[in-house]
Structures are given as structure tokens and as C-alpha cells.
Amino acid sequence: MTTDVKARPARPSEPPTTGTGTPSLKDRGNLFEVAMRQIDKAAQLTKLDADVWQILQQPKNEILTNFPVRMDDGRIQLFKGYRVQHNNILGPYKGGMRYHPEANLDEMKALAAWMTYKSALHEIPFGGGKGGIKFDPTKHSKTELERITRRFTHSLGNNIGPDWDIPAPDVGSNEQTMVWMMDTYMNVVGQNERHSVRGVVTGKSVNAGGSYGRREATGAGVMHCIVEWAKDTNFDLDGAHVIIQGFGNVGSFAARLLSQKGAVIVGVGDHGGYIANPEGLNAHKLQEHVAKAGTVATYKGAAKITRDEFFALECDVFVPAALELEIGVKEANALKAKVVVEGANGPTYPEAEDILLDKGVAVIPDILCNSGGVIVSYYEWLQNKRSEQWEHQDVLDRLQHRMTKTYGEVRTYATKHKCNWRTASYAIGLERIERCYKERGIFP
């Protein structure tokens, strides 16, 4: 158990900005507190049992490890790694590994809790976890990244495992990271078990035991939610204007898949800057550019704009797909979109969400719409357990079915209980968890 929790700063109503116009994460308030405020509304609506609520308000385990790694120049550098295990009543802990210089314990606690409710909402037999390393992966060579990842995996030891806690990629980590984690874990179990523990991580490359469709899964889930919202509101996606913040795994695939539906991507932004083109950006070419240049900011087929100009762009759909707490009061007031579809985890301050809802902007919450990743991770884990490889289309069809089913359940719940979609999504998850606790009780 550890405590690197700093005194809680005053709760900001909008993200403060640095000179580059990009808010620093450490100045954005306590993410765990934001998460608890959101979930508390659903706990009140469902009249959640006080004992269950007490259990859910803190993670079960908070693991912090400082581990040494040899750098390319021969020096040793110490890294700080985290793994927070929020809850496992419904199944093994599950959640991403974030590599980011501003990673911190409260962020991990919030992200781990969101995973618990996300899996419960979609009826995936997983609990919630999150972890990562506090460092900037862009500042290290591939060989250093490999050693950092392997040493971190080794430090976590039996705190991860295919039936205990199953990491996946998140911001700053990717398929390669997962393959190194899997290989390290496989090599420390007995040789007879080696192949039966492939499911220790998901989001692996297909070559190394991953699932077809995992790469684009989260973006695909976002797209399915937008398609459902368009059906509900009689809105034609063909020609609709879309802006996307973050052009990594989630943002880039959301852009490509929405373009295939006829939507026009008129603005994007990432850590390097923001660009716009009212005629539309070619998502495929932009993804190729980012793979080489590392940012959208240097893409030739668009004009450079500021962060403030990005949030004020004329558009129908906004997909935040970067980091948390990017939409404050200022951004909410500026946004012209009809719907905000949270590809990122926790991108919206509660105060900003109130403004959006008052303006009549629909908000499709993160735990509903960015769950494509964990859903296909579940399929990957099942395939690993059964030594199967499902066909690509089969995976995509199952994903679409589950996303649209849950979307419909949230719509029905929100209508019945006259609440917003975020509260409805948490409430469905909380009720499932509560039922399980009621039946199982507390051991001993």
C-alpha cells in the first residue's frame, strides 16, 4: 500500500492552460474525486446499499513499485510503476497500462474504477484495474522501452496473471508493449504452463496471440455509438462534420471508420497542436503521417489552428480521444457540436457536462462508448483460453452486437429514470455489482 496522494487542489471548473495552450495534467484537479462525484449520482439514484458503496469507494489494492533499468549508455535509471486493482467481484482485474510523464496514483485509481463499471455495464466478466509507468516513452529508444517494460512486468510479479489481473495498452503503450509483457511473464512461469498464460495481457499483436479487430476496437465502438445516436435523432451522418481531439489508437480509428460512413473530419488535434480543413481531412493519410512524424501538427493538407479555435469549430460531432479533463467550462461554452462522444476516459468536468446538457448537447459517456477495447480484449482472452483464432469479421460483428445492445439498455434506463446517460450507465453497472455482492456476501 502506498500514498503519493497530494493535498487535493481546489476543484477547477476548467483546465488551466500552459503557454502552449495545452493544460498540464497535474493542474487539472483530482481525477479520482471527479470519478467519485460522477458515480455518487448513480449510487444515489439506485439507492445503493451503503456497505457495497463503502467497498467501491476505494480500490482493493494499490501497488507502487520503483524499479531500476539499465539505459543504452550503461547508466541505471529508477522508474516509478503503478498498478491499481479496483474491484474483482465480477472477474479478474482488467485495464490498461499508461506510459506518461504525469501518471499518478489518483489518475490510476480513477481509471481503474471506471474499468470496473465499464465491464459491469457491458456484462463482461472482468473487474477493474489500471496501471502504468511515470515517464515519457517518446524520450527512449526501442531497446530502452523493451527493458523498461520487461523490468516493470518482472517487478509486478504475480500481481498480474491471466486469471488475476490482465493489462492492456493505453496512452503511450501499444501492441509491442503487450508482447514484451507477455513474453516476460511467460518466461518466468514453468515451461509446461508457458503457452497457457498468453492471456496475461490483451491487445497483443495477432502474431503473438492477439485478436483480429482489437487494434480498431475502441474506435469502432465509438463509431457504433455515433451511428446509434444518429438513428435515434434522425441525423444523417453522410456529410456530418466531425472534430477529434487525440489521434492515437482511439482517435485515428474513429476518424477512419466515421469517414467510411460519409462523415467529414474537419478538425483534429494532438499533443503537438491542432489543424483544420473545412473540406475534410483524409483520415487514412493523416494516420500514415502521424506514424512517421509523431503528430498531426505538421500535416500539410490543413491549416494550423489554436486549441481555442479547435473547440469553437463548426461541427456536428466531437470525439475527445486524448487525455482526461480536457473539456472544462470554457470548452463546453465554445463547443458547437450536437453530440460529444467520449472516446477518452473522463474527458469532461462535471460542471462542463452540465453546461453541455443545458445547451441540448448529447453526451455519450466514456464507459458506454469507449468500451470496444475491453470488449474485444475479452474476446482475445477467450480465444487464448480456448487456443482459438476467430475470424476478423466475426470479432467485429460480435463487437457491434454488444455495443448496440448496451447502447439500447442505457437509452431505456435513462428514459425510465429520467437521468442523463452517464448516470444511467453507472447505475446499470452498480446494480449488477450490488446484486453480486448481495448473493456472495463478504468472506469470511
Cβ of 134: how many Cβ atoms within 10 Å?
18
| Three-point CA angle 362, 261, 212, nearest 5° | 100
Pick the stretch among 61-69, 242-250, 353-361, 416-424 that binds ligand NAD (CB under 6 A). Answer: 242-250
Calpha distance 174→205 (Å, rounded): 9
User: Minimum Å distance from CB 169 to ligand NAD?
Assistant: 5
| Residue among 184, 249, 383, 406 that touches ligand NAD (CB under 6 A) | 249
Confirm or reject binding of residue 343 to ligand NAD (CB under 6 A).
yes
Region class of 140: left (phi > 0), else alpha (psi between -120 and 50), else beta: beta
Considering the complex, state which of residue 247 and residue 378 has its C-beta at the smaller distance from ligand NAD.
247
Edge-to-edge strand order for the sheet containing 303-305? 303-305, 273-276, 264-270, 241-245, 317-320, 339-341, 362-364
Considering the complex, state which of residue 200 and residue 369 has its C-beta at the smaller distance from ligand NAD.
369
Indicate the SS3 state at residue 180. helix
Of 94, 118, 130, 204, the active-site residue reads 130
Residues in the chain: 444
Parallel, antiparallel or unpaired: strands 93-99 and 165-169: parallel
| Residue among 107, 170, 216, 331 that touches ligand NAD (CB under 6 A) | 170
Residue reference for cell 497542436: 273
- 310-329 positions binding ligand NAD, by CB under 6 A: 321-323
User: Minimum Å distance from CB 440 to ligand NAD?
Assistant: 28
User: Minimum Å distance from CB 397 to ligand NAD?
Assistant: 19
Calpha distance 324→385 (Å, rounded): 33
Pick the stretch among 8-16, 49-57, 87-95, 165-173 that binds ligand NAD (CB under 6 A). Answer: 165-173
Question: Is residue 142 annotated as a catalytic residue, yes or no?
Answer: no
| Residue among 129, 269, 328, 429 that touches ligand NAD (CB under 6 A) | 269
| Residue among 247, 299, 318, 413 that touches ligand NAD (CB under 6 A) | 247
Considering the complex, state which of residue 217 and residue 355 has its C-beta at the smaller distance from ligand NAD.
217
Cell of 215: 487494434
Pick the stretch among 52-60, 71-79, 264-272, 310-318 that binds ligand NAD (CB under 6 A). Answer: 264-272
Calpha distance 150→131 (Å, rounded): 15
Considering the complex, state which of residue 52 and residue 265 has its C-beta at the smaller distance from ligand NAD.
265
| Three-point CA angle 198, 201, 205, nearest 5° | 80
Facing residues of 66 across strands? 80
- 348-377 positions binding ligand NAD, by CB under 6 A: 370, 373
Confirm or reject binding of residue 250 to ligand NAD (CB under 6 A).
yes
User: Minimum Å distance from CB 420 to ligand NAD?
Assistant: 20
Alpha helices, DSSP H, located in 248-316: 249-260, 283-293, 307-311
Whether the CB-CB separation of 157 and 181 falls below 8 Å is answered with no
Considering the complex, state which of residue 38 and residue 218 has its C-beta at the smaller distance from ligand NAD.
218
Whether the CB-CB separation of 30 and 346 falls below 8 Å is answered with no
Parallel, antiparallel or unpaired: strands 241-245 and 165-169: unpaired
Confirm or reject binding of residue 345 to ligand NAD (CB under 6 A).
yes
| Residue among 270, 331, 380, 434 that touches ligand NAD (CB under 6 A) | 270
| Residue among 271, 330, 417, 432 that touches ligand NAD (CB under 6 A) | 271
Report CA 281 to chain centroid distance, whole Å: 24
User: Which residues are identified as catalytic?
Assistant: 130
* Residues found near ligand NAD in the complex (CB under 6 A): 22, 169-172, 218, 245-251, 269-271, 321-323, 343-345, 370, 373
